Amino acid sequence: MIRFHKEGYKIIVITFVIAISAILLADQFIDIFWLQKTVQVLVLLLVVTVLQFFRNPARKTILNENTIVAPVDGKVVVIEEVEEPEYFKDKRLQVSIFMSPINVHVTRYAMSGIVKYSKYHPGKYLVAWHPKASTENERTTIVLQNKSFGDVLYRQIAGALAKRIVNYAKEGEQIIQGTDAGFIKFGSRVDLYFPLGTTLNVKLGDKVKGGTQVIAKK
C-alpha cells in the first residue's frame, strides 16, 4: 500500500480539486479532440508527479548506537574535511546527499539520541549543489548527541525548487534512529558533519536510501 507524508495532504487535495476541474473544463470547452486529450493527460501527469513526490514508503531501521543511517534518499555529492562555522567552529567531516525531485523527500533521524540544537535560518534559494548553498540558502541546523558518536550535525538545505523546509527536531527531545525528522518540499540536499576520523560506509556518487542504509559506523 502506498503511503503519503502528512506534509503533502493539503497539496494533494488541492491538486486533485484543480485536476478534476481542469479535466471537466477541457471536456466542456475544448472542441479540438487532440488538444482536449493533451490537456487532460498533462493534468494527470501533474497529479502523478505530486503523488510520487509526497510518497512516504515504510522503512525498517535496525537500531544501532554504533551506526549512522542515511537521513534521506539521494546521491552522495560531497565528502570532505571542512570548517563548520555555526556550531562546532572547527574541522569536521562533511557528507552531503543531494535529492532530486523524484527522490523520497522525508528526512529521518540518522541516529538515536538527544537533540542538542535546532535552529532555522532564512536565506536564498541557490541550486542545491552550489558551494555556498550550505551557508547562504534557507536551511535548518540540527545537532544530535549519542554515546557512540558524540555530537553529529545535519543541515536541511533548500534548493532552487525547495520553498519550504519542515523540521520536527526540538531541543532536549529524545529521538529514535530512522523516525521522521522532517520534510523538504521539492528537491534539495542534506549535509552531515561527523567528527574527524569517522569511518564512512559510502563514497562519492553512491546512491543511498534514507532510514535503512548505513553511511557511517564506529
The per-residue pLDDT string of the chain (218 residues; one tens digit each, 9 = 90 and over) reads: 778 989 889 999 999 999 999 999 999 999 999 999 999 999 999 999 889 888 999 899 999 999 999 999 999 999 999 999 999 999 999 999 998 878 888 999 999 999 999 999 987 766 656 666 666 678 899 999 999 999 999 999 887 665 578 899 999 999 999 999 999 876 688 999 999 999 999 999 999 999 999 999 98
CATH number reported for the structural domain that contains residue 167 in this entry:
2.70.70.10
Does residue 1 lie in a domain region?
no
Q: Is 188 a catalytic residue?
A: yes
Residue 184: predicted pLDDT: 83
In this prediction the pTM is: 0.85
Which three cell numbers mark 182? 522532517
Active-site position among 96, 112, 134, 188: 188
Q: Give yes or no: residues 116 and 209 share one domain.
A: yes
Q: Give yes or no: residues 82 and 170 share one domain.
A: yes
Does residue 58 lie in a domain region?
no
Q: Give yes or no: residues 40 and 75 share one domain.
A: no
Does residue 59 lie in a domain region?
no
Q: Give yes or no: residues 134 and 198 share one domain.
A: yes
CA distances from 209 to 14, 15, 66, 72, 155 (A): 29, 28, 18, 6, 17
Q: Give yes or no: residues 114 and 179 share one domain.
A: yes
The Cα–Cα gap between 143 and 155 comes to 9
Residue 160: predicted pLDDT: 63
Q: How many domains does the chain have?
A: 2
The Cα–Cα gap between 107 and 119 comes to 16
Residue 200: predicted pLDDT: 97
Q: Give yes or no: residues 115 and 44 share one domain.
A: no
Residue 133: predicted pLDDT: 63
Q: Give yes or no: residues 46 and 94 share one domain.
A: no
The Cα–Cα gap between 189 and 144 comes to 18
Q: Which domain holds residue 31?
A: 6-53
Does residue 42 lie in a domain region?
yes
Q: Give yes or no: residues 47 and 99 share one domain.
A: no
Q: Is 122 left (phi over 0), alpha (psi -120 to 50) or beta?
A: beta
The Cα–Cα gap between 65 and 8 comes to 31
